[in-house]
Structure 1
Amino acid sequence: MKIFLCIIAVVSLQGVVAFHVEREYAWKNITYEGIDPASYNIENSIPTAFAHDAASKKIFITVPRRNQIPFTLTELDTTKHPERSPPLSKFPGSDKLISVYQPVIDECRRLWIADVGQVEYKGDEQKYPKQKAAIIAYDLTKDNYPEIDRYEIPNNVAGNSLGFGGFAVDVTNPKEGCGNTFVYITNFEDNTLIVYDQEKKDSWKISHGSFKPEHDSTLSHNGEQYKYRVGIFGIALGDRDPEGNRPAYYIAGSSTKLFEISTKILKQKGAKFDPVNLGNRGPHSEAIALAYDPKTKVIFFAEADSRQISCWNIQKPLNHKNTDVIYASSKFIFGTDISVDSESQLWFLSNGQPPIDNLKLTFDKPHIRLMRVDTAKAIRRTKCEVKRVKP
């Protein structure tokens, strides 16, 4: 997501808050299966997001296209690779992809991506010519994951696709089929939300004041402070009502507020956009990624200024008194993605590489980490746990 996709503040923490959290994988640098390391640039191999398919035990990881990057969409079979630093494999059928920032798996086991259609560097224009951004879906239930949907986003809707942030896939009623599906993509540079109607093959963008950055945010690293300012970034969907509509929760990267809008509004082209400000999470709690767990009714945030994962239970008013921390570590540098899989496992990724000019990277210690924890265990004895009252 341009260079900012990984901006996470670097703050020294004493000790670790990580009850029940497991470090699934940790890499000093990314390697690719079947590819000679001399043929690619390890400094440019920066994973930004992932999706875990609980049914196949595979993780799909995106590496935005930079100079000498062999694959922008990869997969990791966790059953074949129990080691802590496994190589990533090429995703079948990904030869024509330009650059992918984030994958999402829906309830129909379709893997969705948004190919931004351009690279962020100079020199490979002939190899990767600029094209329209595209929304693409693959069927994970079949061998080699055939492509089952592709939609090119009109330029006037996509805007600057290098500003694509998080996105969510909304299957209206999975029990009745997968045809009625909508995709929501944030654009943190244009401060817009893109809506794709799969059934009608149509798309549009929404603009609103709540999408804009609220203030300048600060990135601290090695005693220096860096300012950034970004708009709407993370988006997550809540529980369905009987009509198949859901609350869409979203945050701007440079804001501590959380907003909610019904997908009933998002799915109506031209409908009046009137979101609800749910509250303020408190000072220094900016985040670019969030995930909702229907089992616990909790939203988890990958915070930008604290090297931590925080939580809030939607059954409580949103304020700093009702939020809590489920994970914090001085090693959690540059957290870029967080999601809950179909088995209520919370996963979160940090790639250890904040996008600072002339940043000197070292590869002697693991700095890319993928963590996992059961959501119910994660919130145990925190403010986010709401115990059921026995009748």
Structure 2
Amino acid sequence: MRSLHLLIGLAVIITSRAATPELRFAWKQVDYVWETPEQKETAVKDGTFVQATNLPLGLARWKNKLFVTVPRWKNGVASSLNYVDVDGAQDQLLKPYPSLKDNLVPDTAKELPSNSSIISVFRVFVDACDRLWVMDSGLADILGSPNQVAGPSIVVFDLNTDQLLHRYFFKVTDMKEDSFFANIVVDVDKDSCDSAFAYVPDLGGYGVVVYSLKDNDSWRVSHHYFHFEPLSGSFNVSGIEFHWTDGVFSLALSEPRDNGYRTMFFHAFASTKEFCVSTELLRNYSHIDKNEAFHDFKLLGDRGANTQASASFYDTKNHVLFYTQVNRDGVGCWNSNKPYSPETNPLIINDPELYEFPNDLKVDDEDTLWILSDKLPRYMFKSLDANEVNYRIFSINVKDAIAGTACE
């Protein structure tokens, strides 16, 4: 009888473990769909395309397109904004978006060739109005000989027509000397598409830029909580130790609250703490008492040691905040109906080989969680082996991911 109880107990433990994500895409190195073989040959010859420097970093899904960004960390990135077919081959070529011509810009360029040109993108956001929001840093060859081809700008595309809708360049007052913009989230309701707000974290200048589509205007929000934590700036990924001072990096938006505004969850990359603030404050920041508003930013809690996270995304259907766990080779989560503590922030996905530096994640409108891992520290501080798989994208149903965990 005791052994039967033991077996039942084991069965409960086994079935309550979170499901395993499915490997959807995997590359040793990435390449692109070129217009002609000669075009690629020329790009390789003149250094416009150096395959080893092209590292996928950000993602977002819209229908059968899975957008994949390739920032210009080093020279020779052929196309920064791309997509793959969701139902396509695991190692398929990246398709430049909106075209290769718009992306194939020399690292030494002095200006944007056209208004729809894309220089260097880290993360993108698909909104409820079938638009792709792109935060273009405008900076090429970041780790080599940095060249600011154009100022940081928000670029918006209509996904139904693949046409450029709008481009907005940040104002001088939006930026600081060390500003660096690598993320964007969009606050919009599908019934009022023209009233969208974009929130862009400044990881180097420790602020958040708010952009109003309706007013075509932007402003900068400052707060102590946007800074990095001095005791959380050390990372260790796959035996590579490095030290970063990245401030506010990840933003995630809740479902609308009773007053119509959302809660914005945020954290610095070099931090283990999570904070929040109402978007009401962000939208009206220019007209409020800054001293009084200081206390409207709230500390939610601490995830615990080594829980620094790059990206996060809030799933409004299940009220769960998902986030990458770069030091722990996986993904963590928190159910927003619970207190914020290490116990309520479990590591639900983990594998040191498959999830070496999980860099971005998103939940799509079918409630699928997408995760991209890319070995970024090796790329930056050592080198990648072109004979092994370096870049992977996984997917899993949200309910399966959180089943049997504290996030359920």
- Report TM bin, short chain: 0.7 to 0.9
Structure 2 Cα separation of the partners of residues 124 and 297 of structure 1: 40
Q: Is the 8 A contact 2:237 2:356 kept in 1?
A: no
The residue that corresponds to 1:9 in the other structure is none
TM-score of the superposed pair, with normalisation by structure 1: 0.86
The RMSD of aligned alpha carbons is 2.0
Compared CA separation, residues 322 and 307, structure 1 to 2 (3 A): same
Is 2:76 aligned against 1:68?
yes
Q: Is the 8 A contact 1:133 1:158 kept in 2?
A: no
Structure 1 Cα separation of the partners of residues 336 and 146 of structure 2: 46
Structure 1 Cα separation of the partners of residues 54 and 144 of structure 2: 17
Compared CA separation, residues 76 and 162, structure 1 to 2 (3 A): farther
TM-score of the superposed pair, with normalisation by structure 2: 0.83
**Amino acid aligned to 1:61:** V
**Amino acid aligned to 1:58:** K
Compared CA separation, residues 84 and 335, structure 1 to 2 (3 A): same
Is 2:21 aligned against 1:21?
yes
Identify which of 237, 240, 249 aligns with 2:256: 240
The residue that corresponds to 1:51 in the other structure is 60
Structure 2 Cα separation of the partners of residues 356 and 139 of structure 1: 33
Structure 2 Cα separation of the partners of residues 211 and 122 of structure 1: 27
Compared CA separation, residues 351 and 341, structure 1 to 2 (3 A): same
The residue that corresponds to 1:148 in the other structure is 165
Deviations 1:341-367 (A, max 9, x none): 111111111112316765122011112
**Amino acid aligned to 1:254:** A
Identify which of 276, 279, 294 aligns with 1:260: 276
Q: Is the 8 A contact 2:18 2:404 kept in 1?
A: no
Is 2:141 aligned against 1:134?
no
Higher fraction of helix: 2
Cα drift, residue 158 of structure 1: 3.1
Identify which of 185, 191, 196 aligns with 2:206: 191
Q: Is the 8 A contact 1:249 1:260 kept in 2?
A: yes
Is 2:236 aligned against 1:220?
yes
Map residues 72-151 of structure 1 onto 2, 5 A cutoff.
72-79=80-87, 81=88, 83-93=89-99, 94-95=102-103, 96-119=117-140, 120=142, 130-142=149-161, 145-151=162-168
Map residues 167-206 of structure 1 onto 2, 5 A cutoff.
167-171=184-188, 173-175=189-191, 177-206=192-221
Compared CA separation, residues 235 and 355, structure 1 to 2 (3 A): farther
Give the secondary-structure state (helix, strand or coil) at the position aligned to 1:288. Answer: coil
Identify which of 183, 195, 199 aligns with 1:166: 183
Structure 1 Cα separation of the partners of residues 26 and 224 of structure 2: 39
Structure 1 Cα separation of the partners of residues 158 and 256 of structure 2: 24
Unaligned runs of 5+ in 1: 1-16, 386-391
Is 2:50 aligned against 1:41?
yes
Q: Is the 8 A contact 1:133 1:161 kept in 2?
A: no
Give the secondary-structure state (helix, strand or coil) at the position aligned to 2:369. Answer: strand
Identify which of 216, 224, 230 aligns with 1:209: 224
Q: Is the 8 A contact 2:20 2:349 kept in 1?
A: no
Give the secondary-structure state (helix, strand or coil) at the position aligned to 1:259. Answer: strand
The residue that corresponds to 1:316 in the other structure is 338
Cα drift, residue 178 of structure 1: 0.2
Compared CA separation, residues 161 and 371, structure 1 to 2 (3 A): farther
Cα drift, residue 219 of structure 1: 2.3
The residue that corresponds to 1:7 in the other structure is none
Aligned length: 358
Give the secondary-structure state (helix, strand or coil) at the position aligned to 1:284. Answer: coil
Structure 2 Cα separation of the partners of residues 287 and 340 of structure 1: 16
Deviations 1:38-58 (A, max 9, x none): 7221221011101111xx311
Structure 2 Cα separation of the partners of residues 381 and 358 of structure 1: 38
**Amino acid aligned to 2:149:** K
Compared CA separation, residues 291 and 61, structure 1 to 2 (3 A): same
Structure 1 Cα separation of the partners of residues 184 and 393 of structure 2: 20
Q: Is the 8 A contact 2:378 2:384 kept in 1?
A: no
The residue that corresponds to 1:291 in the other structure is 313
Q: Is the 8 A contact 2:358 2:371 kept in 1?
A: yes
Structure 2 Cα separation of the partners of residues 123 and 287 of structure 1: 28
Cα drift, residue 322 of structure 1: 1.3
Higher relative contact order (CA 8 A, sep 6+): 1
The residue that corresponds to 2:4 in the other structure is none
Unaligned runs of 5+ in 2: 1-16, 104-116
Compared CA separation, residues 118 and 87, structure 1 to 2 (3 A): same
Give the secondary-structure state (helix, strand or coil) at the position aligned to 1:32. Answer: coil
Q: Is the 8 A contact 1:18 1:328 kept in 2?
A: no
Give the secondary-structure state (helix, strand or coil) at the position aligned to 2:214. Answer: coil
Compared CA separation, residues 195 and 355, structure 1 to 2 (3 A): farther
Structure 2 Cα separation of the partners of residues 289 and 174 of structure 1: 24
Cα drift, residue 121 of structure 1: 5.2
The residue that corresponds to 1:345 in the other structure is 368
Structure number with larger C-alpha Rg: 2
Deviations 1:240-297 (A, max 9, x none): 0244310000011111111110001111032324211111111111111111111211
